[in-house]
A and B are shown apart, each in its own frame.
Chain A
């Protein structure tokens, strides 16, 4: 009897601790939000939008890699499909408002993601990565060959148009706050997904798949759903990016891009919510800084070096290492 009273107390303590954690998270998110709201007053908005698009791409990728344990090496395909679809529609159908083009791009990437998932999900580890890479290469060659993408030249002059038909997105500030809103909604969505009942099952699958099976979970279905959500958000990132830069190019479909998002996620900290955002900011900044200076031909080797260093010495990435440090010194 005394034991069950005890266990009720323990449970209460757990719930309270959870609430404290939630409050801390809320404060952190609030501070970040203020920074993002004020940022375009000090920094060139187009540069910020580039960071946000890549951050969304990395957040999407991390849902699959960091939280489900599936390493896709084909996420460029979704980024590019979103971008090309949105670009093509907005360039050729002037009746479409911008958000319709973006939604269509996202849907196209979602469909493609469903196809990828159904074809690859039964493979594991390196085989899964290779199947997704092969499929993404097929998509790449499709984009190279088809006329509507402009092939090697890319798709130029995509009109930004008007949001909902009345907000002029040619204005960089308007565009910025639109991108920021989409980013925040997606970030919160991923946060929700990760902590949802579904997210718990993903965690379980990642940590011990045979055990999850023996508890009655049809793990392939959960993986497919995680893959599709991830592909949809990656496609949305691509759609936004094509509107921001008014450009969709083969770079986005190239396997380099699939590698870059892995780099962003690892450097920032895989399996943390904020990690991919920090990682994307870091990588985009480094690329920009280097390309301005004398080291402009050394961007790839330097990024490669950072990648090696991260994998060897800082496995939990920037955010992961900071979390460890805080826990050790303040916990």
Chain B
């Protein structure tokens, strides 16, 4: 039964000094799915990501990966198990070339990363795989370009290629299209679709058209708790979902009071 779900959280809670950022979240991500996590600003989507990858420590609850409890593992160990995340702001190594960016990821599995006496040339054997990965995201010609000089959309593509170099079983993407123009968005949608072949993806995404194009299943978070879950048609028809999205814009009375209470509590 649990084999069907790559990732499962049980009663996951994160409290910051009396403010509940993630409230009793039970998430089940089915193998092979592209699963979206949506919700208004401050709903706790990124916090959930940080909990899953241990950039934050859960206050309570359990995290299971392929049926195994990984709640107590550290960030680096989780990455090596096959859960690799991307970040909201593009996470690249700015003063390394595009090729070196990817090579650092491949190096994780080489077992020579502590070998301070070894020649850097020992890494050349990874270059071919790097070029394949760069080619796959259309960056081959920028292999020797210092990353800081790449355009924003290309940085995000590079980040995705770096993440894929880890051959993750579960890919966590935190707003992959954030801050992009519409052409770049279409490219990223294609890249994510390609990347998702044979993998499971959990993504936070604001752009609902991206979600509708890509995702098999959607979980809506509001104020730290799961509001509803289902496929795009079901979720978008749900009146509760409409209400939280409108409410967070400041029109709904209930939402506004709850928001201000929360921000006071957070301070």
Q: Could you tell me which A residues sit within 8 Å of B by CB distance?
A: 3-4, 6-8, 10-11, 13-15, 17, 192-193, 195-201, 203-204, 207-208, 210-219, 221-222, 225, 229
Contact = CB atoms under 8 A, between A and B. Distances in A.
26 contacts: A4-B135, A10-B143, A11-B128, A11-B131, A11-B143, A13-B144, A192-B116, A196-B115, A196-B119, A197-B107, A197-B115, A197-B118, A201-B107, A203-B93, A204-B104, A208-B93, A210-B91, A211-B87, A211-B92, A213-B75, A214-B53, A214-B75, A214-B79, A214-B87, A215-B166, A216-B166
Nearest to A6: B140
A10 B145 CA distance: 11
A200 B76 contact: no
Given A17-B144, A196-B120, A207-B96, 13 more contacts: A6-B141, A7-B134, A7-B135, A192-B119, A196-B115, A197-B107, A198-B113, A198-B116, A210-B55, A210-B87, A215-B162, A217-B76, A218-B74
Interface residues of B, number: 50
Given A199-B116, A216-B76, A208 B144 contact: no
B212 interface: no
B84 A14 contact: no
B19 to A, nearest CB: 23
A198 B120 CA distance: 9
B84 A214 contact: yes
B87 A200 contact: no
A6 B143 CA distance: 12
A222 B144 contact: no
B96 A215 contact: no
A222 B112 CA distance: 12
Contact of B117 (A17, A196, A218, A222): A196
Q: Which 9 A-B pairs have the closest CB atoms?
A: A216-B79, A195-B120, A198-B116, A211-B91, A7-B140, A216-B80, A207-B93, A218-B76, A216-B108
Nearest to B147: A207
Nearest to A4: B135
Interface in B185-227: none
Q: Of residues A17, A210, A214, A229, which shows the largest number of chain B Cβ atoms within 10 Å of its Cβ?
A: A214
Contact of B99 (A14, A218, A221): A14
Nearest to B105: A215
Nearest to B79: A216
B66 to A, nearest CB: 17
B94 A207 contact: yes
A10 B53 contact: no
A17 B112 CA distance: 25
A211 B93 contact: yes
B117 A192 contact: yes
A7 B113 CA distance: 26
Nearest to A213: B75
A158 B218 CA distance: 75
Nearest to B83: A214
Interface in B41-100: 53, 55, 74-77, 79-80, 84-87, 91-96, 99-100
Interface string B108-126: 1010111111111011100
Contacts of A229: 116
Given A6-B140, A197-B110, A215 B104 contact: yes
B90 to A, nearest CB: 10
Interface in B234-254: none
B178 interface: no
Contacts of A200: 100, 103-104, 107, 120, 123
A218 B79 CA distance: 10
Contacts of A222: 113-114
B26 interface: no
Nearest to B54: A213
Nearest to A201: B113
Nearest to A15: B124
Contact of B131 (A10, A199, A207, A212): A10
Given A197-B123, A198-B115, A200-B107, A215 B84 contact: yes
Contacts of A203: 93, 95-96, 100
B99 A214 contact: no
Contacts of A3: 135, 140
Interface in B149-187: 162, 166
Contacts of B91: 208, 210-211, 214
Contacts of B116: 192-193, 196, 198-199, 225, 229
B127 interface: yes
Contacts of A17: 144
A215 B128 CA distance: 19
A219 B135 CA distance: 29
A218 to B, nearest CB: 4
Nearest to B74: A218
Nearest to A212: B104
Most chain A CB atoms below 10 A, which of B103, B132, B140: B140
A239 B124 CA distance: 38
A59 to B, nearest CB: 15
Q: From A3, A14, A203, A211, name the one whose CB has the most chain B CB atoms within 10 angstroms.
A: A211
Contacts of B79: 213-216
